[in-house]
Amino acid sequence: MIDNILSMLIWIPIISGLLILFYNNKDSYLNIINISINLFVFILSIFLLLSFNKNISDFQFIENFNWIPSLNIFYYLGVDAISVLLIVLNTLIFFIVSLYNSTLNLTKRSYYYASFLVANGLTIGVFSAIDAILFYIFFEALLIPMFLIIGIWGGSNRIYATVKFFIYTFLGSILLLISFIYINYKISSFNILTIYDANFSLKEQELLFIAMAIAFAIKIPMFPFHTWLPDAHVEAPTSGSVILAAILLKVGAYGFIRYVIPVVPLGALSFDIYFIILSIIAIVYVGIIAITQDDMKKLIAYSSISHMGFVTLGFFIIFQLFESTLSHEDIIISLSGSMYQILSHGFISAALFICVGSIYDRYKTKKISDLGGLINQMPIYSWFFVFFALANCGLPGTSSFVGELIIIISSFKANFLYAFFASTTLIVSAFYSLWLVKRVIYGEINIEGEYIDANSLEKVILALLAFIVLILGIYPDYIMIFMNSTLENMTNNILTKL
């Protein structure tokens, strides 16, 4: 086992990102260096995955150091199964993005790469921090590279999109910081393990829940805090959109499962019905909005919000399951479904944004009405596009089917109406995804000029993502068994507090 593997995973990309800032933009080795660092971090995360003992539910690979003793803040790192899976998703997506970035013609290339490397390290920090303030620092610092990526390399309306994105998420972060300060005031600790054992009164739990839930609901984003995401996606460069959809949204979901539900379960129980309704609105309402979007990125952004609605639905129906079935197993299955949906959406949304990015790089348009008949000129690219569009609908055999099916089954056990409304996504998502395919891939050729099919690197990237989506869809057991012990422990903690 490598000592301090988590620190290495966090600091290698951050430090190399800062060093790359001073690198010559025109140097041909810059791409190789960037890809190598991301590949190394990915391999390190695979090593973490393989070394992780899935039968132990406690945090592993612990690193503890008294960072600011006067403020009771520790540099305390550790991972459980949930964190490990998210770290692997993170490093893989950043590696894929580094490959994709090497094909682009960019200004200030070294700054661009540096922003992504720093974001990579900070996200790993978010997923491995056990100290609440350390988590908050990584959580907040992640805004800086994202702000720069969208603000510098974004589209024409990038300033509006970045300011909106920053204000929205910053507003939520303030509430999160206040919650952590209050928790420390009550129990004199920022350590998440101590916080799990703490008993807050119902009133305290309700207030803490509202503050923390708003912070993470903005990040996911949940209805009605979702309007920053379509704007940010439309203006962000392709790689930025990939990171936003595949990684940044997952930070919000991770916050719910790590800091909200296990810390203040009584608060969550008091408000679960509202969050279930908001999740269902996100699934149905936002899915319907996606139908008439003319910008492909906006359509996929709305689709992401709709799919993330499943994640929050899976999180909050556990309280209804607890009241209706009293089954320990049902709660674990529901949480597993949400986690599966998080991973699945990470890969599918990344692939879809890369598909859109490839079109934009060639024809400088993301508008659906400008495109058409791509199957005639770009058959390989079209094959991948259709495959990921179908995976986005939840086609059986793909990863999204597993996650959505588990959550629909769980919600059926909680209440038939939840299951009914959640199931409508199968119709709505099929509607917007297939209509997108019909207009972009089939029909008459709208763009004149030379069509260039997917190049070798794009084929490798898309084939890799397609392979993962299929493997996760056909054999979900590995992930399920991997998470089981951690989720069982988490469920026990929640149930003892209820």
Partner 1 sequence: MWSPSEIKYQGILSFIIHGILSPASIALLIGYYISIKLYKEKTNFKFLKFFSFKKLILIIKSNYKFDELFLYISLIMKKSSLFFSNKMDIALIDGFIVNGIPKRINILSSYLRTISSGYLYHYAFLIVLSLVIIFAAILVRIL
Number of residues that bind partner 1 (CB under 8 A): 13
Q: How far is the CB of 215 from partner 1 (least distance, A)?
A: 17
**Per-residue mark of binding to partner 1, 424-453 (x: CB under 8 A):** ----x--x----------------------
Tokens encoding 375: 């199957």
Q: Find the binder of partner 1 among 7, 40, 164, 453 (CB under 8 A).
A: 164
Q: Give the whole-angstrom CA distance, residue 350 versus residue 298.
A: 14
**Per-residue mark of binding to partner 1, 210-249 (x: CB under 8 A):** --------------x--x----------------------
Q: Give the whole-angstrom CA distance, residue 431 versus residue 445.
A: 22
Is the separation of the CB atoms in 332 and 484 below 8 Å? yes
User: How many other CB atoms sit within 10 Å of the CB of residue 316?
Assistant: 30
Q: Give the whole-angstrom CA distance, residue 305 versus residue 285.
A: 10
Give the distance, in angstroms, between the CA of residue 453 and the centroid of all CA atoms in the same chain: 29
Site for partner 1 in 260-319 (CB under 8 A): 285, 288-293
Q: Which is nearer to partner 1, 94 or 168 (CB)?
A: 168
Q: Which is nearer to partner 1, 201 or 227 (CB)?
A: 227
DSSP states of 387-438: HHHHHHHT-TTSHHHHHHHHHHHHHHHH-HHHHHHHHHHHHHHHHHHHHHHH
Q: Which is nearer to partner 1, 389 or 483 (CB)?
A: 389
Q: Give the whole-angstrom CA distance, residue 36 versus residue 99.
A: 10
Q: How far is the CB of 299 from partner 1 (least distance, A)?
A: 11
Q: Give the whole-angstrom CA distance, residue 235 versus residue 157.
A: 6
Is the separation of the CB atoms in 268 and 209 below 8 Å? yes
Q: Which is nearer to partner 1, 300 or 461 (CB)?
A: 300
Q: Which is nearer to partner 1, 113 or 421 (CB)?
A: 421
* Strand blocks (E) in 33-191: 60-68, 73-79
DSSP, collapsed to helix, strand or coil, labels residue 351 as: helix
Q: Which is nearer to partner 1, 211 or 289 (CB)?
A: 289
| Residue 201 binding partner 1, by CB under 8 A | no
Q: Which is nearer to partner 1, 77 or 229 (CB)?
A: 229
Which residues lie near partner 1 (CB under 8 A)? 164, 168, 224, 227, 285, 288-293, 428, 431
